Structure 1
């Protein structure tokens, strides 16, 4: 995914697909809770952990950090 050879985990790929689908269908990213439900994570903290990793790898960008997924945009 990036020049260091880092890549997304299978779960992070599922999260990315969830975000892509939501943006395509609704015009905005899903909430943290919606992402969790979609990929089988009951803990918001787990979703945030994966989003942090995905942002570090450049797969997504976040403009808001108030616990809502609405500030998520696709990277690059």
Structure 2
């Protein structure tokens, strides 16, 4: 990592790592935005993209659905 992370990016990374440590899976982008106080998921996506460009390994979970994966209902 050649550049330091911003305070917001540090907060996002901490949020992700805490969830992985506790539950073994990452948060969704929406969960991250709610947790760190960002009003837009696109803001989180921007920060995640910048972090990945800097070489930070960050993963998020996809959106969960209440629908049946087989029939879609």
State the Cα distance separating 1:59 from its structure 2 match. 1.4
Q: TM-score, normalised by structure 2?
A: 0.77
* Larger proportion of strand: 1
Mapping of 1:2-41 within 5 angstroms?
2=1, 5-41=2-38
- Unpaired segments of 5 or more residues in structure 2? 63-73
The alignment covers a number of residue pairs equal to 62
- Greater Cα radius of gyration, structure 1 or 2: 2
Candidates 64, 67, 70, aligned match of 2:61: 70
The structure 1 segments of at least 4 consecutive aligned residues displaced by more than 6 Å after TM superposition are: none
Q: TM-score, normalised by structure 1?
A: 0.74
